[in-house]
Structure 1
């Protein structure tokens, strides 16, 4: 498949198809990454919810089962200062739900475990030397970033505005993921917290393409070959697909999430901060309807999720984050490898007709 309109991402990352599987913390493990890589795309291993040992085990498994390049993804937020009053107020707001569901309100509040990129994570990268490393919420500090670059890894990060894309290029990214407002999961925004300025994928992509010299990867509501084709025709070198991979058997999603993905309408997703403290798109459930979807009372990222954990344990349909993008109704129940190939082959067929 050499007839792609722009082969810069293929050449840069050493992959065959311009399809990048989105790193979805909690839903993606090594089996999905391996399937996508072996199909010719770029599999992406999310590390934000893994300990160093868990990450090491996953990377070992990936290396054992594929010789192809793969991506490891990290969050690089600043951990918030403790705010006991805000945490107490948030938990008090949830007390009626604790009573209703029979959860122990007086037990210590669990701690949400999304960790930013740090020395320990960097040491794991230096050990395994993945070909690609991607970041969310900007980039880590220069010392750590230089250590990652010294391993030979290509650096990607998400931009939700043209300003963020320019910043990422200036600070050393080899390619930029242009993440539209339609995308599922956490917004990659880092220069602004103003949701009203966020741009849709197919308005954002050509503007980012015009603003930077590095290759651009389109992300957000791309779930079939039509979306891939449109993104490439707007100047993207590749696409990053998330929600469509949640329908594959390799995805590690709860029964409630599995059902919601297959029954929700395209209008039933919203941006919410109540599950983690940071804006993210998911399928609307009871917690989002009654507490948000955006709440000024939610503790800072990633602390908001802790007080919800006991409720989620009792009823994950109503109190868990059901991340999904706006194109969720286009999802199909096929394997990760087959999805990767279908996205690429369908797009190539459409492009070659023009």
Structure 2
């Protein structure tokens, strides 16, 4: 009898080792759940998700199985998720936070899973969505440098594509003005960091996000009261010291101008060139953008543009940010182009701008129109 029981135990042990049977108790996701995902895509994915949500501690293997299960389930024609969407997103966020030393394929899988998860309603909680987006932007745009080998470059490109898909999905999930404003603020932050590469990537990503947002029915960013804030913050990038950032910023403004042309019945817009003094082009582009948009903004939008430009002029960011903010203010007052035309050298222009900025900081002789925008001493 004992020999018979021993054979039964040996057979059960063999079944466990081959992942034919999964333990009933909660804990680490077992290989059986991952195998079920492959054998029965829909039902297996739901089981894998449920196992993972019940688990306390997971490793890389279980994380990958869970992300694959989420993507596999969302690819189907199911109308509802097998578990709470918020809980699934929280687990994805926790997995994302495990990638903080370097960009990993696991982070790419997280962004792809969020993109698929965004197909289901209700939308994610605002704080959860902001946390996911902030971490993804930090790792993809400003994370540790990627090695120059082909594998590292391929991973960076794949991560940027996954980030675009994730942001596109989140916009479609919640095509509201408040959501778009928050998302644009997160992207505009990366346009003033010290490192050139993140700024260029952020400008390209902002271009794609605006293009997706403009395609959403009923979501016209040029009609929002915060549109002036976006114009002011983006205008500064037209004078960025990096040519790649300036080029992408012009592409973004091209999209915004296209919307404005349709709204105002304008036919075309071109960036002016100055071959004899090429250093003037970026400043001229900034002034032109401020003049064109400033003349077609509502009173509330114009106020948001003034506030954002003043914030840049008084900020501690890069020199081009402070100078750009001041030029936007002077453009609204009709004084920027005359200041640009009277200077023959870039150093002369920068000296004048530096003097004006110093006076603004010290509260000395400041043009009355700009002084009216400055915070009072009590503030």
Provide the TM-score with structure 1 as the length reference. 0.27
Larger strand proportion of the pair:
1
The structure whose Rg is larger is 2
Provide the TM-score with structure 2 as the length reference. 0.25
Larger helix proportion of the pair:
2
